[in-house]
Amino acid sequence: MATRHPVTAEQYASACKRRFGTGNPERIHNPVWEWMVREGHYPYRARSDLGLELDLSGNRIQPNPDWCFSRMGMATVTLDDGRRVSIAGEHEDFYSPDFCIYNDVIVRKGDEVEIYGYPKDVFPPTDFHSAIVVAKQIWLIGSLGYPDERGGESTQVLLLDCVSLRVSAAALNGESPGWISEHRSRLLDDGTTIKVTGGTVFRREGDEERSRRNMDVYHLDTTTGTWTKMTDTSSWRQFRFAYDEDHKNYKNYKNYEDYKNARQEMLKWYSGEILEELGYPLELAPELTQEDFDEDEDEEEVLERVHTVLVDGVPVRVIDSYGEVHL
């Protein structure tokens, strides 16, 4: 496809770097960033196509990476007027020199692209959050964030005004999920209550940071700003099993084919319908979350890797996820 808005190597080099906004919001007019949005470019590809030097060194957190719209954990909503609003997210991970967690808002309608930046103290770098439109506001719930910027016991909740695009922190009370990310949120039929399920919750224990899957259901009343914990799974135990390096966990079998056959036979015993058959409260059955999905998978494919089995009357959920098995 022909490039609609050509960018030269000189233009890219002079305007490609990420920066924070100076207002709440600041409308940022940057043709290079807008070109990145329209063309779907990411820094490595853009630099390669333009003949610019490639930084392959990798860095934990680079203070000035190339700006990028190719992101993971970015939330996008479509407003009634047709605008598509994409919010924050991250590019790559710590191994990339352009690893970055963003705190911007990109508004698209047709071929028009508007980019808005914010000060870091107004809109912290946010990723793997959810975005729910309630009236004239977008409720941004949760964030993974940089490890040293995670907020402890409370849940990050920000409000994005659909008209002014101003960001503010929500004043909330009640029992929140904690520092949650990769969850699912949806607006209930009353039009004011947001249901939050699944995801990962981080908490600090002394000098160590620990994570666990959220198995509870939370409601957030947007009229009163009140969190309510609808379930109690505090007694549920969680285990995480890592594959051997290079997934060579089949070493106890004669060959890889025997391992595959044994694994498939094991999976036949799992039934995702067993909770319903037992009359178990389906409200407590965790919904699929972003972390359950591999790249380019749909929900039906994921369900083949998420199973529930009954052990001595106790429903046990088994998730074959990436390089780990969660129990």
Element (DSSP H or E) covering residue 9: helix 9-15
Residue numbers in the chain where pLDDT is lower than 70: 1-5, 55-63, 151, 242-256, 258-305, 321-323
pLDDT in tens, 143-196: 999 988 886 789 999 999 999 999 999 999 999 999 999 999 999 999 999 999
Nearest to 178 by CA among 157, 161, 208: 157
Whether this prediction's pTM lies above 0.85 is answered by no
Sheet holding 193-197, edge to edge: 173-174, 226-229, 218-221, 193-197, 184-187
Q: So what's the pLDDT on residue 326?
A: 78
Q: So what's the pLDDT on residue 56?
A: 61
271: left (phi over 0), alpha (psi -120 to 50) or beta: beta
pLDDT in tens, 5-48: 578 999 999 999 999 999 999 999 999 999 999 988 888 888 88
* DSSP β-bridge partners for residue 174: 227
108, 16 in Cβ contact below 8 A?
A: no
Q: So what's the pLDDT on residue 79?
A: 97
